[in-house]
């Protein structure tokens, strides 16, 4: 019984430590695009994608689906926002954790800024 409690405590501590290193702001800007992603300690996030003059945003919750992969799940939008400009169609997105404070979102590598 005590071994199970010790093991569970170690797993919880390790997951909290990994999340702390992940928390922060990430960005990537190119000639005609800009991505920004903020990952918070409380498992929430904010994602913005800008292309030329168009911008889409979503906020929601993130979680690990494997050791090096997160899933971002956007919160549901109320009716007017869901049909308005700026609505992000992809409501779930995978993020792969790379080395040196980098993340891969779709085919774009984001660098940690803070």
**Helix ranges (DSSP H) in 23-103:** 79-83
CATH code that applies to domain 23-112: 2.40.128.640
* Residue boundaries of the structural domains of the chain: 23-112
Residue 71: name the closest of 91, 87, 86 by CA: 91
CA distance 10 to 2: 12
- Kindly give, in sequence order, each residue whose CB lies less than 8 Å from that of residue 81, ignoring residues fewer than 6 positions away: 87
Q: How much is the pTM?
A: 0.75
CA distance 64 to 3: 25
Model pLDDT for residues 24-83, shown as the tens digit of each residue: 999 999 999 999 999 999 999 999 999 887 888 899 999 999 999 999 999 987 765 555
pLDDT at residue 68, rounded to an integer = 95
Residue 60: name the closest of 47, 77, 73 by CA: 73
């Amino acid at each position: 019984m005590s071994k199970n409690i010790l093991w569970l405590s170690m797993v919880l501590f390790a997951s909290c430590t990994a999340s702390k290193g992940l928390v922060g702001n990430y960005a990537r800007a190119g000639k005609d695009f800009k991505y920004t992603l903020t990952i918070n300690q409380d498992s929430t996030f904010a994602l913005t994608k800008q292309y030329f003059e168009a911008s889409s945003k979503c906020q929601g919750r993130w979680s690990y689906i494997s050791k090096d992969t997160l899933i971002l799940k956007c919160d549901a939008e109320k009716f007017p926002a869901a049909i308005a400009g700026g609505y992000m169609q992809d409501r779930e997105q995978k993020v792969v954790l790379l080395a040196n404070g980098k993340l891969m979102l779709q085919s774009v590598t984001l660098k940690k800024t803070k």
